[in-house]
Structure 1
Amino acid sequence: MKSKMTDLKRLALDVYQGKNIMFNNVTGEDALRNMLTEAVGGEFNYKNFRENKYRVFSIVEEALDITLGTVITTQFDNLAEVRNVALGDQISFKVEDNSLFRVARIASGTNDIRRQKLLNKRFTIETDKYAVKIYEELDMFIAGRIDWASMVNRVAQSFANFMGVKIYEAIAKAYTSLNATYGVSGTYDEDALFDIVQHVEAKSGKTAVIYGTKKALRKVSKEMNLSENMRDQLNKVGYITTVSGTQLYLLPQAHKVGTDEFFVDDNMLLILPQNEKIVKVVVEGEATMIETSDAGDRNDQQMEYQIQKMFGIGVLQSAVYGIYKMD
């Protein structure tokens, strides 16, 4: 689903990306605030907001959609294919069958050989609805002190962080479906790692690459006999980017929301064919902002809003990849 890039979407995207832009002779951040002010009739106060809040909601929804789409495609580009579909639509992903055909010896002058079919498959991903609930004090609305641009970016980052958790959880759970050749655990051993690398390359017909957090890649790097240049690289970036001709790529680490707990396993190495995106993400429909509590509905006069998105995440079980869990 491709939507038209409106002025608002382009503006929201530029603001999120930190571009130093001018729009209608003001900065991007001020231009967003001006759009919201215009939506409520020219002056942002509680009464005007109450009368025109659905116009504000529409601006927030549109800005969030373009910002969130950019965040998830940027942060997870190496691992995930992200597809946007209209509400109610389903998309099927094609899984290529990379198996080689058996070659048979036949007698001269005959065509007697068993036929072999291409076994490409398709699968769909179910979506679920997820939401972020935010609130603010009535006095902040009355004073016009709500930084909507910052709020949109924080909500987008919150959804992206949650989706990141789901992506890595899906990868971790996929380990149990791998056979002993592609799902290996134990004390780190370079030969064991490169057995998986060679199996992935042999089965996919592509060059394999290795993904891991900085700590996981550092474990691999520390076991190598390092030259002076390699030690310098290890000191500068935290890991060696090439091991025995195989590229190493960083999986960004992050905290679980509200905790200091990491959500990416620092003992996991993911071995993939280069440019293979084994995770599929479907984002369905547009963001929806709804009011769950207006001032006066609660004793504390807080105003609550819920922002909803629908998405689903899946890992290609029939794709070629390996996971090495290090003790």
Structure 2
Amino acid sequence: MKKITDLARLSLDVYNGKNVMFNEVSGEDALRNAINDACGGAFNYKTFRANKYDVFTIVEETLDDTLGVVITNQFDNLADVKNVAVGEKPVFRVNDPSLFRIARIAGGTNDLRRQKILNRKFEVDTDYFGAKIYAELEQFIAGLVPWTEMINRLTLSFANDLGIRIYEAISGSYTALNSTYGVTGAYNEDVLFDMVQHVEAKSGGRKAVVMGTKKALRKVSKDIVMSDSMKEKMNQVGYIGNVGGTDLVLLPQAHKVGTDEFFVDDNMLLVVPANEKLVKIVVEGEAQMIEIADAGTRNDQQMEYQIQKKFGVGVMQSAIYGIYKLS
């Protein structure tokens, strides 16, 4: 069987649609050939049944590598992703940026009140998440199970689910914000830039950015006085990249699985210091593919499998950020 590490890297190229060759065949054919090799050279139901755990290993490792890159790329603006071994609990440390009070000291004394350095730390709890898939026995016998397509769909499914959990965690943190950093109301430029200045001041002067979906950023952009070049930019991408000296950063929109409902609130603006990763993602251990039912176990002869990943999502409550909910 080909080296799994080579195939894992190859799977990323296949996922990204690159026209790659591996052992003189296309990337997708190479993945299929790896599964055939795992089954002794020819894939059929009998060889799969005898070597299925080797096939599971290919699915698990390619899924792990592909998903790791996808979630890092998709959520790079918001999230810090850590891949850890089973049982490992990474500790995230949050530096306290608040300034110390400077006091007048009487001459010849050291009479000064101490101020504690209030750096904090927190952990992210992880849970198992998974998908259950099945195929008809005849599909296995005919070699019609699309393995590469299945791995890509699983990657997108896990990434999509993780995205929902990220945005739900951010939205859910709104109630913990005070009235300075959690605002609801009709869009008002002064209200937004008050929040921008508060975030910048509290973060020690770090430049803030405003994040939102295309629809949310358009609400910020459309009421400003525009030059011809700005109008052209607005027409091309739907929003202006910088308003009042503050960068606007696009959050990708997506559907909740099986619906036409958006999972990112189009009426939410997130104000954070530039490059602040206020969401922490922990991916614990490796993917596991588990056989639920082999052919003959069920009356309908369907073959059923479960794919599991263990991960968790947390929002740094002590981070400096603001949420403006537009009504």
Q: TM-score, normalised by structure 2?
A: 0.97
Aligned in 2, Cα 1:278/1:5: closer, same or farther, shift over 3 Å?
farther
Partner of 2:184: 185
CA distance, structure 2, for counterparts of residue 25 and residue 147 of structure 1: 21
1:155 CA drift (Å) = 0.2
1:117 CA drift (Å) = 2.0
Partner of 2:238: 238
Partner of 2:55: 56
Asked whether the 8 Å contact 2:133–2:304 carries over to 1, the reply is: yes
Aligned in 2, Cα 1:5/1:274: closer, same or farther, shift over 3 Å?
farther
For 1:119-156, what per-residue CA distance to the aligned partner results, in whole angstroms no more than 9, with x for missing partners?
11111011000001111111111011112111111001
Residue pairs, 1:220-239, within 5 angstroms: 220-239=220-239
CA distance, structure 2, for counterparts of residue 265 and residue 134 of structure 1: 30
Residue pairs, 1:128-277, within 5 angstroms: 128-205=127-204, 206-277=206-277
CA distance, structure 2, for counterparts of residue 256 and residue 151 of structure 1: 19
For 1:88-115, what per-residue CA distance to the aligned partner results, in whole angstroms no more than 9, with x for missing partners?
1110000110010100011223222112
Partner of 2:39: 40
Q: Which 4+ stretches in 1 moved above 6 angstroms?
A: none
Partner of 2:12: 13
CA distance, structure 2, for counterparts of residue 48 and residue 235 of structure 1: 57
User: Partner letter of residue 41 of structure 1?
Assistant: G
Partner of 1:65: 64
Asked whether the 8 Å contact 2:4–2:61 carries over to 1, the reply is: no
Partner of 1:280: 280
User: Partner letter of residue 133 of structure 2?
Assistant: I
1:295 aligns with 2:295: yes
CA distance, structure 1, for counterparts of residue 137 and residue 10 of structure 2: 28
Residue pairs, 1:102-121, within 5 angstroms: 102-121=101-120
For 1:140-183, what per-residue CA distance to the aligned partner results, in whole angstroms no more than 9, with x for missing partners?
11011112111111001000000000000000001000000000
Q: Which runs of 5+ in 1 are unaligned?
A: none
Q: State the percentage of identical aligned residues.
A: 68
3-state DSSP of counterpart to 2:59 = helix
CA distance, structure 1, for counterparts of residue 106 and residue 306 of structure 2: 72
Greater CA deviation, 192-201 or 5-14? 5-14
Asked whether the 8 Å contact 2:281–2:311 carries over to 1, the reply is: yes
RMSD: 1.1
Partner of 2:90: 91
User: Partner letter of residue 279 of structure 1?
Assistant: V
User: Partner letter of residue 30 of structure 2?
Assistant: A
1:5 CA drift (Å) = 8.7
Partner of 2:24: 25
Q: Which runs of 5+ in 2 are unaligned?
A: none
CA distance, structure 2, for counterparts of residue 5 and residue 75 of structure 1: 25
For 1:55-90, what per-residue CA distance to the aligned partner results, in whole angstroms no more than 9, with x for missing partners?
100110000000110110010000000000101111
